[in-house]
Structure 1
Amino acid sequence: MSRLVDDNMMAETVAAAGLSLVSGVAGPEALASPSYKALESRSVMAQGAFIKRMHPEMMLGFDLKAAMALASQAGRVGAGPEVIWHDASSGGIAMHGLADEWSTANQARLQDPTLVSSAMSALKTLHSTDPLEARFNPFVQIDDLIAELKREKAGLPDDIAWLRRLIGQIEPMLETGTLAPCRNDGSSSNLMIGPDGAVMLIDYDRAGMNDPLYDVGCLLAEVTNMERDMRAGYAAYVGSFDEVGFSRARLWSYVDDLLHGLWARLHAKTSQRGGVEWLKYGEWRLIRVRMGLMHPQFEEKIRLSGEAA
């Protein structure tokens, strides 16, 4: 079986969705840096729908049943495009395409506080949908990635033992706080911006039950590196600012940075798409987690997170 979605596989997915490729237009090309975009899947726009199928080489580690369930729930409540068809076994999904007035978000556009507030509102709506069967555990995924990197002889970061030890201090947060259906992916390219500052969420590949502040923290880290400037975005989700919850959100973003940094490093070794800047993207995420772990307030955040227990 092909490691990438070829033309025949894409046509098969479109047909399974009850659609036709006549006048279809290819979706975005894979781009890791500077924006995490179209890395897992190949896509096409056809007959007013957006159809994508996950590349076979990317399917390891994703719970696609949970992904399809959450995408469907998001569409039903207006937090994302309405899902027309999906198939977890192939990683295929079709949803109503968004009109030309909609475009992909990026960090520059998320400097608008109104758009950040809209994104947080969409997240809050998503988090209120029905519980999923799957529990997302980023620490298990991190350990699986470390093991896989060793098996592939892909090269671990020199400081991986230090990174894993400090990230391990965050692990008790798994047992505290509330759980909600989460995307567990904060990439700005997975937000669509529409008329009048409306925001819709796309891409639910890492879906699972988790602390909703994981989603909040991941998105805030995409908006800015300055914590002072993150506070308004956090308050837009919660309704007011509090140090305890904000500390949890920031700690979760460090966990996500390590997860994605290792994930990108693995695919730099294993992906058939050698032209994608996997390593560049992964190293940026690892730099960002190191900045957080070395910050003088890291231990204070750990202490504050314990107050939510």
Structure 2
Amino acid sequence: MAASAAQADVTEALMVFTDRQAVVRNRAEARLGGSLDSLESPLTVLASPAWRGIEADIWLARRGNQSEVYKHYHTDLAHYVDPPAAIAAAKSAGDVGVGPRVLQSWEEDGLFAMEYLGNGWRAGGLHDSANTVVREGIVAAKKALQAGPKLSRDANIFNEIRAAHAACTTHKANLPKNITAFLNFADRAEQAMSRLEVERVPCHRDGNTANLMIGPSNVVRLVDYDLAANADPYEDIGYHLMEVFDREPEARDGFVEWTGFFEEALFQRAMVYGILDDLRWGLIALTMAASSPRSTLEFAKYASWRMLRFEMTSQTSTAGDRLRRLA
């Protein structure tokens, strides 16, 4: 009986995959003017150790000398992604020149087409952050997005943590035993931040170095605008510092790389956002582990290391000092 159930799950997953592929193929053939020479999904999807390709299938469609990339959102992530807003942000980033140009979108399908950057471009990785030119490119792209037109929605990490925790509760996710203390830190951080006047600007809001494309001469383009919104620009800085630098002395240098100056209170503000990013993603991943039909992906494993790092950085006297010193 167990074998039959497993086989049924595999069959159902294959049918869903085939149906989703057909949606993309139909849109691509209409755009490119006929039958495709190829439709490939070149991305290896991973929940752990890197969160890559989770939100959407990525397809490369080719016909003759034409090539386009299609991003097709999954339906099991409505608790943290608004596909129409993400598509709108991708369009804005393409217009600004920091991301691939969006060529057409079909919001009803959770699908859009974007330019294929071509040979010589590749997906980024954490190892690229050791390259000073790449880091400068990341910062320049995110600052250019921040200077561009406002996006279609506002957001902040505190509301997202509450929403992610509510989703965990709804889906009976296996929460950490210290979740009350974890949420308490988020509440204290929100209270500390509440006294600040924040100018919301368009932000990428994703520090994951897998969400970069790196081209010839280490040119950088940003991809994946799934959380993009008008927000505190120090969110972007904090997520970048937490992703790229293992130790605080290097993170302080990284802050200067971004801002051109150092101010302790602003650095602590960025670092608190970076710490909270682990809690947000840990809760998101726990919800996915409890609710997503894509049960072969290691959502719980990803959540465990995010929560481990959050505990290490938030449940200390140093974390309390950060809250007292931020501005």
- Give TM-score, length-normalised by structure 2: 0.87
Gaps of 5+ in 2: 1-11
Which range moved further: 216-225 or 123-132?
A: 216-225
Question: What secondary structure, in the 3-state scheme, does the structure 2 residue paired with 1:45 have?
Answer: strand
Matched with 2:199 is 178
For 1:15, the equivalent position in structure 2 comes to: 26
Worse-superposed segment, 169-178 or 234-243? 169-178
Q: For the Cα contact (< 8 Å) 2:70–2:114, is it kept in 1?
A: yes
Q: State the 1:158 CA deviation.
A: 0.6
Indicate the SS of the match to 2:317. coil
CA distance in 1, matches of 2:16, 2:313: 37
TM alignment of 1:81-120, pairs within 5 A? 81-120=100-139
More helix by share: 2
Change (3 A) 1:268 1:39: same
Q: Which range moved further: 19-28 or 52-61? A: 19-28
More displaced 10-residue stretch of structure 1: 287-296 or 244-253? 287-296
The answer on 1:35 being equivalent to 2:40 is: no
Partner-residue secondary structure (3-state), 2:108? coil
1:25 matched to 2:46: no
**Structure 1 residue 194 displacement after superposition:** 1.3
Once the 2 structures are TM-superposed, how far is the Cα of residue 177 of structure 1 from its aligned partner?
2.3
Aligned twin of 1:65? 84
Provide Cα deviations, 1:218-264, integer angstroms capped at 9, x if missing partner.
Answer: 12211122111122322222122221221111111112110100110
Change (3 A) 1:160 1:21: farther
State yes or no: 1:53 paired with 2:68.
no
Give 1:160 shift.
0.6
Q: Is the 8 A contact 2:79 2:164 kept in 1?
A: no
Consecutive unaligned residues of structure 1, counting only runs of 5 or more, are none
**C-alpha distance in 1 between matches for 2:70 and 2:36:** 10
Q: Which of 55, 62, 75 in structure 1 is aligned with 2:94?
A: 75
Distance in 1, Cα, partners of 2:211 & 2:267: 22
Aligned to 1:224: 245
Cα separation, 2, equivalents of 1:129 and 1:279: 37
**Alpha-carbon distance in structure 1 between the residues aligned to 2:38 and 2:83:** 29
Q: Distance in 2 between matches of 1:100 and 1:282?
A: 34
Residue type of the partner of 2:264? E
Q: Which has the larger radius of gyration?
A: 2
Report the residue type matching 1:22 in the other structure: D
- Name the aligned partner's letter for residue 292 of structure 1: T
Q: 1:274 aligns with which of 295, 306, 314?
A: 295
What's the secondary structure of 2:210's corresponding residue?
Answer: helix
In the alignment, is the contact (CA less than 8 A) between 1:106 and 1:189 conserved in 2?
A: yes
Q: CA deviation at 1:155?
A: 1.7
On the 8 A contact 1:31/1:38 being kept in 2, the answer is yes
Counterpart in 1 of 2:273? 252
Cα distance between partner residues in 2 of 1:304 and 1:177? 16
Amino acid at match of 1:57: D
Task: Give the alignment partner of residue 136 of structure 1, picking from 146, 155, 180.
Answer: 155
Aligned equivalents of 1:8, 1:267: Cα separation in 2:
22
Whole-angstrom distance in 2 between the partners of 1:195 and 1:242: 34
Q: Output the CA distance in 1 between the equivalents of 2:312 and 2:74.
A: 33
Tell me the SS of whatever aligns to 2:304.
helix
Q: Is the contact between residue 262 and residue 282 of structure 1 (CA under 8 Å) also seen in structure 2?
A: yes
- Give the distance between the partners of 2:25 and 2:316, measured in 1 at CA: 48
1:153 aligns with 2:168: no
* TM-score normalised by structure 1 residue count: 0.92
Deviation of 1:99 after TM superposition, in Å, equals 1.8
- In structure 2, relative to structure 1, the CA distance for the partners of 1:56 and 1:222 (3 Å cut) is same
**Contact kept in structure 1, 2:25 and 2:39, CA below 8 Å:** no
**Residues 135-183 of structure 1: CA deviation (Å, up to 9, x unaligned):** 1132222222222222222221111110000111111426532211112
SS, match of residue 130 in structure 1: coil
Size of the alignment, in residue pairs? 305
Aligned partner letter, 2:70: I
1:207 aligns to 2:228 (yes or no): yes
CA contact (8 A) 1:178 1:211 kept: yes
- Maintained 8 Å contact 1:5/1:54: no
Q: Distance in 1 between matches of 2:258 and 2:107?
A: 31
Shift of 1:128: 0.9
